[in-house]
Structure 1
Amino acid sequence: MLPEAIDERVKVVRHFNRSFTRQIGVLREGLLHSPYTLTEARIMFEIAHREQTTASHLGRELGLDPGYLSRLLTRLEQQALIEKRRSDNDGRQFLLELTDEGKQAAQLLDQRSRDEVAEMLNTLSEQEQQRLLKAMQEIEGILTRSFKFSEPFFLRSHQPGDIGWVAHRHGVLYAREFGWDERFEALVAQIVADFVNNYDPLRDHCWIAEMKGEIVGSVFVVRASESVARLRLLLVEPKARGLGLGTYLVEECIRFARQHGYQKLQLWTNSVLVEARHIYQKTGFKMIEQESHHSFGHDLIGETWELIL
Structure 2
Amino acid sequence: MNTDPERIAGVRAFNRLYTRVIGVLDEGLVGSDFSLSEARVLYELAQQDVHDVPELRKRLDLDAGYASRLLAKLEGKGLLVRERSESDARRQTVGLTQLGRKTQATLEQNTDTQIGELLGRLTEADQRRLLAAMGTITRLLGEHRADPTLVLRPPRAGDYGWVVQRHGELYAQEYGFTAGFEGLVAGIVAEYVGAEGTARQAGWIAELDGEPVGSVFCVEGSDADTAKLRLLLVEPSARGHGVGKRLVAECVEFARRSGYRSMELWTQSNLTAARAIYRQAGFELESAEEHRSWGQDLVSEVWRTRLGRA
**TM-score between both structures, scaled by the size of structure 1:** 0.51
Q: 2-side partners of 1:284 and 1:276: how far apart?
A: 13
| Corresponding position of 1:173 | 170
Distance in 2, Cα, partners of 1:167 & 1:193: 10
Measured after TM superposition, the shift of residue 212 of structure 1 is: 1.9
Asked if the contact 2:206/2:215 (under 8 Å) is kept, the reply is yes
Q: Deviations over 1:239-284 (max 9, x none)?
A: 1001111011000011000001000100000000000000001110
Q: Could you say which residue in structure 2 is the equivalent of 1:248?
A: 246
5 Å-filtered alignment, 1:1-309, equals 150-224=147-221, 225-309=223-307
d(CA) in 2 for partners of 1:196, 1:240? 26
**Secondary structure of 2:160's match?**
helix
Q: Which amino acid aligns with 1:210?
A: E
Q: What are the superposed Cα offsets for residues 96-150 of structure 1, whole Å, 9 maximum, x if unpaired?
A: xxxxxxxxxxxxxxxxxxxxxxxxxxxxxxxxxxxxxxxxxxxxxxxxxxxx961
Measured in 1, the distance between the counterparts of 2:277 and 2:208 equals 21
Aligned-pair CA distance for 1:153: 1.6
Distance 1:280 1:253, change over 3 A: same
The residue type equivalent to 2:291 in the other structure is: H
Aligned residues: 162
Displacement after TM superposition at 1:199 (Å): 2.6
Q: SS where residue 213 of structure 2 aligns?
A: strand
Take 2:260 and 2:161, find their aligned partners in 1: how far apart are those partners? Answer: 28
- Do the aligned residues in 1 keep the contact of 2:164 with 2:186 (CA within 8 Å)? yes
Deviation by residue 1:218-251 (Cα, 9 ceiling, x = unmatched): 0000012321110000000001001111011000
Flag the 1:205–1:149 CA change in 2: closer, same or farther, 3 A: farther
Preserved contact between residue 150 and residue 243 of structure 2 (Cα < 8 Å): no
| 8 Å CA contact 1:149, 1:243 repeated in 2 | no
State how far apart, in whole Å, the 2-side matches of 1:213 and 1:253 are. Answer: 21
Where 2:260 maps in the other structure, the secondary structure is coil
Give 1 or 2 for the bigger CA radius of gyration. Answer: 2
Question: 2:249 is paired with a residue of what secondary structure?
Answer: helix
Residue aligned with 2:297, SS: strand
> Residue 220 of structure 1 contacts residue 231 of structure 1 at CA under 8 Å; is this kept in 2?
yes
Distance in structure 2 (CA, Å) of the matches to 1:205 and 1:191: 13
Per-residue Cα deviation, 1:19-65 (whole angstroms, up to 9, x for no partner): xxxxxxxxxxxxxxxxxxxxxxxxxxxxxxxxxxxxxxxxxxxxxxx
Identity %: 49
Could you tell me which runs of 5 or more consecutive residues in structure 2 were left unpaired when the two chains were aligned: 1-144
Structure 2 counterpart of 1:3: none
SS in structure 2 of the partner of residue 202 of structure 1? coil
Counterpart-to-counterpart distance in 2, 1:296 and 1:246 = 24
Q: Tell me which stretches of 4 or more aligned residues in structure 1 moved more than 4 Å.
A: none
CA distance in 2: counterparts of 1:201 and 1:158, whole angstroms: 14
Alpha-carbon offset, residue 200 of structure 1: 3.6
What amino acid maps onto 1:159 in structure 2? R
Q: In 2, Cα distance between the equivalents of 1:159 and 1:218? A: 12
Question: Cα–Cα, structure 1 residues 288 and 165, in superposed 2: closer, same or farther, change >3 Å?
Answer: same
Matches of 1:294 and 1:285 in 2, distance apart? 25
Name the aligned partner's letter for residue 196 of structure 1.
V
State the 1:201 CA deviation.
4.2
* Secondary structure of 1:261 counterpart: coil
Contact 2:245/2:277 (8 A) holds in 1:
yes
Q: Which runs of 5+ in 1 are unaligned?
A: 1-147
